[in-house]
Amino acid sequence: MGCFSHYYVKTGDVLVAMKKATAFAALSVTKRGTQTSYPDLDEVEEFLKERV
């Protein structure tokens, strides 16, 4: 929810915020841990380039 809120406030675009938030979530569940599983922005951008 925090990721969605961040991008919604930053862009004002619900669709952009949803895409970013779901990309962060999708990547975070592929690793162990809580804080350590959270991807960095470069990982998310690469993930989105490959899928959008």
What does the alpha-carbon distance between residue 20 and residue 3 come to, in Å, rounded to a whole number? 7
pLDDT of residue 34: 78
Three-state DSSP class for residue 34: coil
What does the alpha-carbon distance between residue 33 and residue 35 come to, in Å, rounded to a whole number? 6
pLDDT of residue 17: 97
Number of H helices, E strands in the chain: 3, 0
pLDDT of residue 36: 79
The phi, psi pair for 28, rounded to 5°, reads: -70, -25
pTM of the predicted structure, to 2 decimals: 0.78
| pLDDT band at residue 19 under the 50/70/90 scheme | very high
